[in-house]
């Protein structure tokens, strides 16, 4: 993360909910010589298994010779964060407001501090934010209500106070980024992002990167964002590619034979983001 700040690139944090997506990420990282984060949220952990994800990532990291780490994304409880730290996850996102949208700032700070202290045993980096982050990792049909979203934007003062109160390593900024894929492109307030960058010393992440014009990512990396999350763009391509390949091969029941077409499509999305983030060629 220090390298990303010094060299003005951001690392892609790509969600997986199956092995094919992990293969796509590993192959993109290898082809472009880019560091990557593989991330799993609460539902994905439940489906794949916390320790299984650790083993899978380690196996593909060795097989493809890539710089690849794991991020626990939007974990709603301290206990789950501690389990991931014990399992060797390098990045931990504690998000108390994910389970309780009305959680008080005092509760969020207290539980975030508990995870920060626990993470010192392994050196895992902890990420958090002081309030609920909107949207969902899906395909939305409604327009984006920017007037409503602006009420939840981060502020330089709020970011500084939260970072100082919790001791987190990464602050999840809200500047127009929103979970999910929408009918219209997202718009990021880069001037606000710059002021937040100037107000805090820790890393900055952007959630809800899907459906965002790539020039915003290029500028965000130059401003000093270290981590950008991508999920819905990958899920959309995975599903639409799978639907097409199934329709084109109605008599093929060994679905595993059809999957290379699917993860090649997902790999193309990951490569596009890596190039926009400026992380190509930055792996060690």
* pTM exceeds cut of 0.85: yes
Is the pLDDT confidence value at 275 over 80?
yes
Least confident of 90-99, 146-155, 271-280: 146-155
Q: Provide the pLDDT for residue 32.
A: 98
Cβ atoms of residues 66 and 25 within 8 Å: no
State the average pLDDT for the chain: 92
Q: What is the DSSP string of 14-68?
A: EE-SSHHHHHHHHHHHHHHT--EEEEE-HHHHHHH-HHHHHHHHHHHHHHHT--E
CA distance 284 to 281: 9
Bridge partners for 76 per DSSP: none
The catalytic residues are 73
Give the integer Cα–Cα distance in Å for 119 and 108: 16
Domain-wise residue ranges, the chain: 2-277
Query: What is residue 97's predicted lDDT score, i.e. its pLDDT?
Result: 84
- Place 98 in a pLDDT band, splitting at 50, 70 and 90: confident
Quick one: average pLDDT of 180-205? 88
Task: Give phi and psi for 245, each to the nearest 5.
Answer: -70, -30
Which CATH number does the domain 2-277 belong to among 3.20.20.70, 3.40.50.200, 3.30.9.10, 3.30.420.140?
Answer: 3.20.20.70
- Give the pLDDT score at 10: 98
């Amino acid at each position: 993360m220090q390298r990303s700040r010094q060299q003005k690139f951001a690392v892609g944090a790509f969600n997986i909910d199956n092995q094919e997506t992990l293969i796509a990420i590993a192959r993109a990282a290898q082809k472009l010589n880019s560091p990557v984060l593989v991330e799993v949220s609460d539902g994905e952990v439940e489906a794949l298994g916390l320790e299984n994800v650790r083993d899978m990532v380690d196996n593909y990291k060795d097989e493809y010779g890539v710089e690849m780490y794991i991020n626990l994304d939007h974990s709603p409880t301290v206990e789950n964060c501690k389990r991931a730290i014990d399992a060797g996850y390098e990045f931990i996102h504690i998000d108390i407001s994910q389970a309780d949208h009305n959680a008080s700032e005092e509760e969020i700070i207290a539980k975030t501090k508990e995870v920060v202290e626990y993470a010192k045993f392994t050196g895992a980096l902890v990420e958090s934010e002081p309030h609920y982050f909107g949207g969902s990792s899906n395909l939305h049909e409604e327009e984006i209500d920017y007037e409503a979203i602006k009420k939840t934007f981060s502020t330089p003062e709020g970011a500084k106070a939260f970072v100082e109160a919790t001791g987190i390593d990464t602050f999840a900024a809200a500047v127009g980024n929103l979970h999910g894929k929408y009918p219209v492109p997202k718009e990021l307030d880069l001037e606000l992002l710059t002021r937040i960058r100037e107000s805090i010393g820790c890393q900055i992440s952007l959630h809800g990167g899907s459906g965002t014009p790539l020039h915003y990512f290029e500028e965000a990396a130059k401003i000093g964002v270290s981590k950008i999350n991508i999920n819905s763009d990958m899920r959309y391509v995975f599903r639409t590619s799978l639907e097409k390949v199934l329709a084109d091969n109605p008599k093929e029941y060994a679905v595993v034979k059809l999957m290379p077409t699917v993860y090649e499509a997902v790999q193309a999305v990951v490569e596009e983001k890596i190039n926009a983030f400026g992380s190509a060629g930055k792996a060690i």
